[in-house]
Amino acid sequence: MLKAILFDLDNTLLDFMKFKKESARAAAKAIIHSGLRESESVLYSKIFAIYDSKGIEYQRTFHDLLSEYSLSPHQLEHMKQAAIIAYTKKKYSLLRPQPKVVRTLSSLKSSYKLGIVTDAPRDKAWQRLVLSGLDLFFYPVVTFDDTFEEKPSSNPFKRALELLKARPDEALFVGDNTGKDILGAKRVGIATCLARYGCLNYSPEEDVADYRIDRFEEVKKVVDEIEKD
């Protein structure tokens, strides 16, 4: 019997890449407004090159970016703080749940325990949950800081099951990344559901999920199917 449903956070519950892209553009514009002679497109590309190299959750992006230029300490700090503030303002205005997430979670919470397993740092994960109004739906919220291992390591999933006091066969995991979310949950023996709407580069050949959905609310049909088996 299904007792718990675990979710990835970014691109599954939230449109993470939309806010990341728009916030990066806002930061690039702020840097230029602060006096750097560079094009917005070049700065935007450099920001994402740093993410590609050091991870999407890297916290010193603007420092590294501006360190490439010949700036005085005064100029560097001015531009860095302007970028951080512009990025944060844009993030706060854009962080919203995917369509139908709140309604669907409200329906599921009456029958199942709901949890999060994310690679985001603890503070960033909770900021996103609070900003998007999803903070009261979930326990546990397992972040990178709980195991210091990223998916597809099995340990974040094991930690969530431990806190839920649930067996792998009593849980479902919903995530958007075939190589991290789906493979990681499968290693533990948890049933998996791929949120195809959140996949950045979907490949049918790499899709080994037990179920798949194209809209978040379809998770209810997956739950009904599991309960019938």
Match 């009904």 to its residue by tokens: 224
The H helix count followed by the E strand count for the chain is 10, 6
pLDDT of residue 12: 97
Q: Which fold has domain 17-94?
A: DNA polymerase; domain 1 (1.10.150)
The strand ranges marked E within 52-150 are 113-117, 141-142
Q: Which fold has domain 4-15+97-228?
A: Rossmann fold (3.40.50)
CA dist 89 and 33 (Å) reads 16
The tens-digit pLDDT sequence of the chain (229 residues) is 899 999 999 999 999 989 999 999 999 999 999 999 999 999 999 999 999 999 999 999 999 999 999 999 999 999 999 999 999 999 989 899 999 999 999 999 999 999 999 999 999 999 999 999 999 999 999 999 999 999 999 999 999 999 999 999 999 999 999 999 999 999 999 999 999 999 988 888 889 999 999 999 999 999 999 998 7
CA dist 31 and 29 (Å) reads 5
Burial 155-187, CB ≥16 within 10 A → b, else e: bbbbbbbebbebebebbbbbbbbbebbbbbbbb
Spans of all domains in the chain? 4-15+97-228, 17-94
Residue 190: how many CB atoms within 10 A of its CB?
Answer: 27
Residue 106: how many CB atoms within 10 A of its CB?
Answer: 10
Residue 51: how many CB atoms within 10 A of its CB?
Answer: 15
At 110-139, the pLDDT tens digits run 999 999 999 999 999 999 999 999 999 999
> What phi-psi label fits residue 14: left (phi over 0), alpha (psi between -120 and 50 degrees) or beta?
beta
Local structure of 55: helix, strand or coil: coil
pLDDT of residue 191: 98
